[in-house]
Structure 1
Amino acid sequence: MTRPLPSLTEAKDLAKRLRRKLTEAGTPIGHAQSLERVAHQHGFRDWNTMRAEIRNGPPKGWAVGETVNGTYLSQPFRATVVSIKIVKPGWFHVGLDLHEAVDVVRSKRFSNLRKRIRGVVGPKGHSAEKTSNGEPQLKIDLR
């Protein structure tokens, strides 16, 4: 029985967890072996075949018209994806239409509400750019 196809990041995370669990159980395996086992669990003959099928596409639920959750400048949001374009493998330029505007200013003296935002997010669902407190500016939850 095949399982739903994970994203590339999810597949690699599965392999890391499998490797760690087997090592803890006294059966250490290498990284390549764990990738092969994940591929077999999903019905592929080897990792390269599974990798080709995944093709660094966006995570599930990140298609135009889909609803995503996340944070922008540490403010939680729910939004509809209005655009998505691959920048480089695993990194995507996304355009989001927020269901409710978020205030991007922390001052009590004035506000700046944003309803539409754009940004580049990587395989873990967050931007490389950080706020002054070290948090990613944009984070989109992976499903």
Structure 2
Amino acid sequence: MTVKTVKEAKAQAKRLADAMARAGNPVALSKAYELNAQAAGYADWNTMAAALKRPEAQGLALGDTVRGRYLGHPVTGRIHALRRKGAAHIDIEIALDEPVDVVESKAFSSLRRRVRATIGADGRSIGRRSDGVAHLELD
């Protein structure tokens, strides 16, 4: 059985510990967590728990290529960092393929190679420009 949440993984580890105890080979619950994680292909319980908490439910994963617009400029890049922020939002950091100039002035420029934002399920940042357009909009 493939688990999708930490709660399911913990329940599965508890069933494993109970079954081993009934078979005359009792193990600590913490050991059952580790065995469960290794059986699922993870190095240890902490790695498995972290993987189950990732924001992949929105179709995002580390290393994925993304396209969209940042401050109105078209951008492409790879997801460098992801972190769930509450039930409905994700903090995302994108390493851009090409730097983007975030200044509108002709007198100077400011190039960014990475951008960060908190996005919702629609792929748009909660931060907005003064005209109401999201800072980051993923396709």
TM-score, structure 2 as length reference:
0.58
Distance 2:129 2:75 in 1: 17
Q: Please name the residue that 2:67 is paired with.
A: 69
1:2-21 counterparts in 2 under 5 A? none
Structure 2 residue aligned with 1:98: 96
Q: 1:133 aligns with which of 98, 111, 131?
A: 131
Root-mean-square deviation over aligned CA pairs: 1.6
> Which residue is 1:109 aligned to?
107
**Separation of aligned partners in 2, 1:67 and 1:104:** 21
Percent of residue pairs bearing the same amino acid type: 35
Q: How many angstroms does 1:59 deviate by?
A: 2.1
Distance 2:104 2:57 in 1: 32
2-structure distance, mates of 1:107, 1:80: 28
- Structure having the higher Rg: 2
Q: Deviations over 1:28-74 (max 9, x none)?
A: xxxxxxxxxxxxxxxxxxxxxxxxxxx974422x2101100011111
RCO comparison, higher one (Cα < 8 Å, 6+) = 1
Contact 2:55/2:90 (8 A) holds in 1: no
1:114 Cα deviation after fit: 0.2
User: Post-superposition shift, 1:139?
Assistant: 1.1
1:58 to 1:98, Cα distance in 2 relative to 1, 3 A: farther
Is 2:120 aligned against 1:122? yes
Paired AA for residue 78 in structure 2: T
TM-score of the superposition, structure 1-length normalised? 0.57
How many Å apart are 1:134 and its aligned residue?
1.2
**Aligned equivalents of 1:84, 1:56: Cα separation in 2:** 7
Task: Tell me how far apart the structure 2 counterparts of residues 113 and 80 of structure 1 sit (CA, whole Å).
Answer: 17
Q: Is the 8 A contact 2:82 2:93 kept in 1?
A: yes
- For structure 2, the residue ranges without an aligned partner over 5 or more in a row are 1-53
Q: Cα deviations across residues 91-143 of structure 1 (Å, max 9, x unaligned)? A: 100011000000000001110000011110001111111112210011112xx
Q: Is the 8 A contact 2:79 2:93 kept in 1?
A: yes
